[in-house]
Each structure stands twice: as C-alpha cells, then as structure tokens.
C-alpha cells in the first residue's frame, strides 16, 4: 500500500485572497500573479479508492470538484469514507454543512470537538442515519480509512476564536487542538495544521517520521501587526512562526524527518509568493511549501 495525501487547501482561515483583505499577497492573487489558495484541508488514502478528509474547510465543495480522485463513481457513490477534525475552528468545521447531502461517512473527533459540533444546532443537518459521529480518545488507534491507522495527540493550542473568554491560554494541551499520526504499514506520517510550540514530547513523537505536514501560519510572529492588519501575534493566535530561534524551521533542525511540508499559511505569509526570499529560505531548509492540489506519497 502507498500512502497518498492531497492538499485540498493550503491556506489558513480566509484563504488567499481573503475577501476583505488588500494586502500584497491578496492583491497579487486577485490579479492572477500568484496562485490563489483555499482553506486548510487534506485528503488521504492507502489504496487510492477509499479516501478520508482531514478538516472540512468552508471551500470543500470546490476542493472536491477540483480533485478527480474524490468525484462520485456512481449516482450517489462517493470515495469519501470519513472526515476527521483536528479542532473546532470555523475554517475546519464549516464544510460539514456542505457534506449534509445524505452521504454516508464517519465523523471522527475528540469528545471536546464533538461537543462543539453538538452545541451548534445548524450542524444537526448532518443526518445521523448517514453520518456516524465517533468520539476518539487521545492516543487511541483507530482505522481512519481502509489501510490507514490514525492516532490523535494533544498539541499546544487554544480554543476556537468564537469560544474565547476574557482570559485566553494559547498553549493549552488537551482535546481542543490535536495532531494526527497516520500509519500505513511501516510508514508514519503526521498532520499538524495548528501548533503553538515545539515541546520535547512532540519533538520525540515526530523523530524519524516519513512525512510531517506542519503549521506554517506566519513567517514571523508579528507579521500581521507589521502589515497593519491586526494587533494579534502568531503566538496570540496559537501558532508557531516559521522563522526565528523559536520558529518551526529552527525546531525541525533537531528532528529527523523524511519530508517536511508547510500547510495552513496565512494570507500575509510571504512564502506564498513564488520566488520570495522567505520561500527560498524555507526550501533551502528542506521544506516543501504546500499549494492547493499538491499530491504527496510515501
């Protein structure tokens, strides 16, 4: 069996271009001078016939239409077998509303994330006669899709923006933000679209992986502040930055990984511009910068 991952959406929430943003990247994307990117999601398979989607982006209808491997094979027969959620962010759950069309699939998530879904009556549109909601405990192996074993594990992060209170802890470790360990035979892959810090336990977990798809939200922590777009840093949003001594590029220099892939890039991130010095620096450090439609194999 061969593990395949297709990047359905490489961008963070809002996509590229973001509808209300006039930053350099968004204007270039509108002009067709750099590739547009949809919101964060991937599809995985071990047999090229049965597929799972990790995170249901608001852009999922277009993403699936652009991926021939996810097209219906008969009148109402889809290769989609399951959906897995890594947190309750709008850009990771809103696409569930598109998947309400009487299609059978398993919906996997932690108990906390399932509770977020259950508390939203709009998502009752997912008919339980077709969609089986399964709670997954951390570090419990389960079959995500034929031939792919998955385990969820806590990574530092925060609750979704719409659940924030007066006090916000941005590096919580629990069921609200998880990474995914995917195993196919003796191959090991990790998908971590949101992570606030590289801690020793996470470093040890990733050591020797065949592939890691990792949070690439910002190039530098105060990127959005410098651009005049927000007062929030990457850390405040619960994300590591790529660059800097505490960034992901530096952190992974101490971890042996086969393929390193940045996903979930914010619309301001300069690595989204082909030929930028930042993208070149990431590539020189051994990273692939994901784009919509990119396919990876192990």
| pLDDT of the residue at 32 | 98
Tokens of 215: 């949070």
Output b/e per residue, 85-118; b: 16+ Cβ within 10 A.
bbbbbebbbbbbbbbeeeeebbbbbbebbbebbe
| pLDDT of the residue at 171 | 76
Output b/e per residue, 58-76; b: 16+ Cβ within 10 A.
bbbeebbeebeebeeeeee
**59-68, 86-95, 173-182, 225-234: least confident range:** 225-234
Tokens of 230: 């927000």
At 180, phi and psi to the nearest 5? -125, 125
Q: Taking all residues of the chain, what is their mean pLDDT, rounded to a whole number?
A: 94
Closest CA to 176 of 208, 143, 204, 153: 153
User: Which region holds residue 261: left if phi is over 0, alpha if psi is between -120 and 50, else beta?
Assistant: beta
Say whether pLDDT at 161 is over 70.
no
What does pTM read for this prediction? Answer: 0.95
More confident residue, 166 or 298: 298
**53-62, 234-243, 267-276: least confident range:** 234-243
| pLDDT of the residue at 147 | 98
Q: Rounded to the nearest 5 degrees, what angle is found at the Cα of 189, between the Cα atoms of 238 and 200?
A: 50
| pLDDT of the residue at 166 | 66
| pLDDT of the residue at 132 | 98
Domains recognised in the chain with CATH numbers:
4-297 (3.60.15.10)
| pLDDT of the residue at 221 | 87
């Amino acid at each position: 069996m061969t593990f395949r991952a297709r990047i359905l959406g490489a961008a963070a929430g809002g996509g590229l271009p973001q509808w209300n943003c006039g930053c350099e990247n968004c204007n270039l994307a509108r002009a067709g001078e750099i590739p547009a990117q949809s919101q964060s999601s991937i599809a995985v398979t071990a047999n090229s016939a049965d597929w799972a989607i990790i995170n249901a982006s608001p852009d999922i209808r277009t993403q699936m239409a652009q991926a021939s491997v996810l097209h219906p094979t008969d009148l109402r027969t889809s290769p989609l077998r399951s959906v897995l959620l890594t947190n309750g962010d709008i850009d990771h759950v809103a696409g569930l509303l598109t998947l309400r069309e009487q299609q059978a699939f398993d919906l996997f998530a932690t108990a906390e994330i399932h509770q977020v879904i259950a508390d939203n009556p709009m998502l009752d549109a997912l008919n339980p006669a077709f969609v089986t909601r399964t709670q997954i405990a951390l570090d419990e192996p389960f079959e995500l899709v034929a031939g792919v074993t998955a385990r969820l594990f806590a990574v530092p992060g925060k609750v979704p923006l719409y659940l924030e209170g007066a006090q916000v802890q941005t590096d919580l470790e629990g069921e609200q933000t998880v990474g995914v360990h995917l195993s196919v035979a003796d191959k090991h892959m990790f998908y971590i679209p949101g992570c606030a810090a590289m801690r020793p336990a996470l470093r040890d977990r990733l050591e020797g992986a065949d592939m890691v798809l990792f949070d690439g939200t910002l190039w530098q922590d105060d990127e959005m502040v410098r651009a005049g777009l927000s007062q929030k840093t990457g850390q405040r949003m619960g994300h590591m930055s790529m660059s800097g001594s505490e960034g992901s590029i530096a952190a992974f220099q101490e971890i042996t990984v086969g393929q390193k892939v940045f996903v979930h890039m914010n619309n301001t991130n300069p690595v989204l511009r082909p030929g930028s010095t930042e993208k070149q620096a990431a590539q020189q450090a051994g990273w692939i910068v994901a784009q919509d439609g990119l396919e990876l194999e192990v």
